[in-house]
Structure 1
Amino acid sequence: MLKKCLVAAAAVAMVVGPAAVAQADDIVRVVENEVTIPVSSGEYPGTAAAVAECPPGETRTGGGASVIAGNSHAERYLLHSTQPISGERWWAFASNTDKTNPGKLRVYAICARVVSTPTLTTPISS
């Protein structure tokens, strides 16, 4: 009897389980953009800015950036700012004080398109 109940419970879990997962039309993705941070010139560091933008119909839910050092010391490549900007975009700014090796600035936007809108209900107080 117990074995039959466990098999029945497992079958119900398999049928009910996927219903709790987001629909196939719901999308969450990471959009990225990478630019080169040029070498420094004279006393001035090389600088670069980059933007990652969500596709039309998707909403920016977050973002970030990273700096990838060239063939040099990592402390020569600095990420100064990373933040959301107007529209559905994420922006970043970085610099490079190395005179011979460029670096990379990679910026990310986390984008979402939710087709089904969940309904929020409040509990009924007694």
Structure 2
Amino acid sequence: MRSPIRIVDVDRLETWQRYRAGMCDTCAANCCTMPLEVRLPDLVRLGVVDAFEAEHIEPKLIAKRLLKMGVIDHFNHKNAIFTMARRASGDCRFLDAQSRRCTVYETRPETCRLHPRKGPKPGFCAYGHRQHSR
């Protein structure tokens, strides 16, 4: 008998599972469909903003450029937080659509590095089993 399919809605925290080591190996990267909030050092690490620009240009001017380029969807002036633009599918722009793996894993933003220790439900994950194509 097959186990029932567990439906995960990233916006409904009660559908999340307690995180345990190894979950990411079989996950469909549901966390990579949530809005990604980053700070200026993350954008520098990702190569979206250069270090000189980050040090000498106001964040709101950087945000204006990134909005125009379609790199971000929003900038919170008060907290200097940039919300990265996502693909039409809702996926993070850095997620490989086929493998469901991060293409910038080594330089990923702090938000991603700290998941699931920090976030909307610390210690829990929007885990969804990845379907393998045959």
Please indicate, yes or no, whether the TM-score normalized by the shorter chain is above 0.5: no
More helix by share: 2
Higher RCO (CA 8 Å, separation ≥ 6 residues):
2
TM-score by length of 2: 0.22
TM-score by length of 1: 0.23
